[in-house]
Amino acid sequence: MKNFRSIIQTISRQPARQAFAVGGVATNQEQAKSFEEVPGPKGIHLWPVLGPILMYKPFTKFTSENNQLLFDSLIDKYGPVVKLRLSELSVLISDPKDIERVFQNEGQYPTNPSMSILKAYEARNGLKPSLSSSNGEQWQRLRSPVNRRLMRPNSATYYLESHNNVADDFVQLLISQEWKAEDQIDLLFRFAAENTGVVVFNTRLGLLNPGSKNKEEIELLQQTRELFNALQKTFNGESIAHSLYRNKTYLEFEKAFNTIKSYVQKHLDKAKEIVEQRKKDNKEVDSDELNLLLSLASEKKLDKDDIRGILETFYTGGSDSVAKAIQCLFYNLAHNPTKQDTLRQEIVRVMGHDTLVTAEALSKMPYLKACIKESFRLIFPTTLGPTRILNTEVVLSGYRIPAGIPIFQAYFRACKHNFSQSDQYIPERWLRSNDGQYNEQIPLIASNPFGHGARQCAGKRLALQMISLATIKVLRKTRIELQPESRNMEFIYKTFVEPKRPLQFTYRKLD
Does 455 engage in binding with ligand HEM (CB under 6 A)?
yes
Question: Cβ contacts of residue 397 below 8 Å, gap of 6+?
Answer: 22, 25, 79, 80, 81, 93, 95, 97, 98
User: CA 415 to CA 94: how far, in whole Å?
Assistant: 9
- Among residues 189, 206, 205, 187, the alpha carbon closest in space to that of 197 is found at 205
- Total chain residues near ligand HEM (CB under 6 A): 26
3-state secondary structure 252-268: HHHHHHHHHHHHHHHHH
User: CA 246 to CA 85: how far, in whole Å?
Assistant: 27
Question: Cβ contacts of residue 281 below 8 Å, gap of 6+?
Answer: none
How near is the Cβ of 82 to ligand HEM at its closest, in Å? 21
Interface positions, 350-389, toward ligand HEM (CB under 6 A): 381, 386
User: CA 230 to CA 372: how far, in whole Å?
Assistant: 29
Does 10 engage in binding with ligand HEM (CB under 6 A)?
no
Helix axes 337-351, 366-378, angle to 10 degrees: 150
User: CA 371 to CA 428: how far, in whole Å?
Assistant: 8
How near is the Cβ of 400 to ligand HEM at its closest, in Å? 24
x/- site string to ligand HEM, residues 137 to 176, per CB under 6 A?
------x---------------------------------
- Among residues 107, 106, 120, 164, the alpha carbon closest in space to that of 9 is found at 120
- Among residues 241, 162, 282, 297, the alpha carbon closest in space to that of 1 is found at 241
Q: Is the separation of the CB atoms in 83 and 45 below 8 Å?
A: no
- The response to whether 457 counts as a known ligand-binding position is yes
Pick 327 or 486: Cβ nearer ligand HEM:
327
Interface positions, 324-353, toward ligand HEM (CB under 6 A): 325
**Contact stretch for ligand HEM (CB under 6 A) within 28-36, 179-187, 268-276, 317-325:** 317-325
Q: Is the separation of the CB atoms in 308 and 200 below 8 Å?
A: no
DSSP state at residue 17: -
Q: Of 51, 129, 449, 499, which lies in the binding site for ligand HEM, with binding defined by CB under 6 A?
A: 449
3-state secondary structure 357-388: CCHHHHHCCHHHHHHHHHHHHHCCCCCCCCCE
Does 292 engage in binding with ligand HEM (CB under 6 A)?
no
Pick 53 or 464: Cβ nearer ligand HEM:
464
How near is the Cβ of 322 to ligand HEM at its closest, in Å? 5
Does 406 engage in binding with ligand HEM (CB under 6 A)?
no
How near is the Cβ of 196 to ligand HEM at its closest, in Å? 5
**Contact stretch for ligand HEM (CB under 6 A) within 180-188, 293-301, 321-329, 362-370:** 321-329
User: CA 387 to CA 272: how far, in whole Å?
Assistant: 36
User: CA 204 to CA 370: how far, in whole Å?
Assistant: 30
Does 311 engage in binding with ligand HEM (CB under 6 A)?
no
Q: Of 167, 462, 474, 482, which lies in the binding site for ligand HEM, with binding defined by CB under 6 A?
A: 462
Pick 15 or 381: Cβ nearer ligand HEM:
381
User: CA 346 to CA 353: how far, in whole Å?
Assistant: 13
Q: Of 193, 322, 474, 480, which lies in the binding site for ligand HEM, with binding defined by CB under 6 A?
A: 322
Question: Cβ contacts of residue 336 below 8 Å, gap of 6+?
Answer: 425
Q: Is the separation of the CB atoms in 412 and 68 below 8 Å?
A: yes
**Contact stretch for ligand HEM (CB under 6 A) within 295-303, 338-346, 449-457, 473-481:** 449-457
Q: Of 6, 14, 112, 340, which lies in the binding site for ligand HEM, with binding defined by CB under 6 A?
A: 112
Does 293 engage in binding with ligand HEM (CB under 6 A)?
no
- What is the chain's length? 511
Does 135 engage in binding with ligand HEM (CB under 6 A)?
no
**Contact stretch for ligand HEM (CB under 6 A) within 167-175, 318-326, 351-359, 482-490:** 318-326
- Among residues 195, 233, 246, the alpha carbon closest in space to that of 473 is found at 195
Q: Of 223, 224, 234, 321, which lies in the binding site for ligand HEM, with binding defined by CB under 6 A?
A: 321
How near is the Cβ of 489 to ligand HEM at its closest, in Å? 19
Specify which residues 499 forms β-bridges with: 491
**Contact stretch for ligand HEM (CB under 6 A) within 202-210, 252-260, 282-290, 448-456:** 448-456
Cβ-closest residue to ligand HEM? 459
Q: Of 32, 131, 193, 333, which lies in the binding site for ligand HEM, with binding defined by CB under 6 A?
A: 131
Listed in order, strand segments (DSSP E) in 286-361 are none
Annotated binding site for heme: 457
Which residues form the interface with ligand HEM (CB under 6 A)? 112, 131-132, 143, 196, 199, 313-314, 317-318, 321-322, 325, 381, 386, 449-452, 455-459, 462-463
